[in-house]
Amino acid sequence: MKPVRKAVFPVAGLGTRILPATKAMPKEMLPVVDKPLIQYAVEEAREAGIEQMIFVTGRGKGALEDHFDISYELEATMTARGKSLDPLAGTRFPAGAVVSVRQQAPLGLGHAVWCAREIVGDEPFAVLLPDDLMVGKPGCLAQMVEAYGRVGGNIVCAQEVPAERTASYGIITPGARDGRLTEVMGLVEKPKPEEAPSNLGVVGRYILQPEIMPILGQIGKGAGGEIQLTDGMAALIGEQPFHGVTFDGERHDCGDARGFVLANLALGLARDDLAPAIRAFLAETGGG
Ligand code: UTP
């Protein structure tokens, strides 16, 4: 079984659910507490053993590449002023470890993943959607890589979603269950609640086999007029092992204001230096 060494970060979406924040700034640069979303995802990938990070970007996303580049001016000035460079530690990579490719038009998540096909090559790869902020120990992708070591094939992160919200997710037709592992018998993108095969949704982490790439190149537009990753994955079911892993941890959907604010509160409350001030504020304003 080939190890998972590469991760694709599709970051070419328009982020319309959290406008105006994302008008001139990539959604993935939104900070939760003091770190941009993309850095949480990249750190999670690194923890899971990923060696190469592949960003699928679009116009106006240059800040994402700059974030993982050396900022000579900043570092020289900080050093001259005797300031520690420790806060920049998670942004530094060996040359070639972060690469990017353009998605020229936002045709959908499936199309974004397909844009990375030449860099992925003939090996399994992970996909991480940075607006799904996953908090757990070990991290979400590490938990999935552990499951991959046991069952191989394709793995998605699965989460029970409210029955009335199935139309916001890819939904799994579940087969045999074994602890946190569920066999995936079918996948359907954004079904209405009355048509959903379950309320087990796919959230933003995947381990996929390279055979999905030619499929993504061939399938047409699906739900919402976009080329859907779910439709490409559905074509692999029955051909290769396919499982969902229920993540042991917390997920924050930072793609809209509600999830974004709650993520800031949750991660702020988890910090010893910030929690007392947040608790005091909530108590004062009647929210604690
Ligand atoms: P979303 O469904 O969150 O879409 O995409 P979006 O455009 O980012 O945001 P909204 O819905 O307009 O607010 C899920 C992931 O797929 C990427 C996004 O960047 C995000 O990480 N994506 C989506 C692309 O890279 N390209 C696309 O064409 C569509």
- Cα 38 to ligand 1 centre (Å): 13
Q: Where are the domains of the chain?
A: 6-255
**For ligand 1, mutation pick of 30, 61, 109, 169 (most atoms within 8 Å of CB):** 109
* CATH superfamily, with its number, for domain 6-255: Spore Coat Polysaccharide Biosynthesis Protein SpsA; Chain A (3.90.550.10)
Looking from the CA of residue 56, the nearest atom of ligand 1 is 25
Q: Whose CA is nearest to atom 15 of ligand 1?
A: 129
What pTM was estimated for this model as a whole?
A: 0.95
Q: Which two tokens stand for residue 203?
A: 């959230």
Longest dimension (CA), the chain: 63
Nearest CA to ligand 1 atom 9: 15
Is the shortest distance between the CB of 259 and ligand 1 below 6 Å? no
Which residues, 6 or more positions from 195, have their beta carbon under 8 angstroms from its beta carbon? 188
- Listing DSSP states for 5-69 in one string gives -EEEEE-----GGGTTTTSSS-GGG-EETTEEHHHHHHHHHHHTT--EEEEEE-TT-HHHHHHTS
149-189 pLDDT per residue, tens? 999 999 999 999 999 999 999 999 999 999 999 999 999 99
What the block records as the tokens of 91 is 């942004």
pLDDT per residue as tens digits for the range 65-85: 999 999 999 999 999 999 999
Q: Tens digits of per-residue pLDDT, 181-220?
A: 999 999 999 999 999 999 999 999 999 999 999 999 999 8
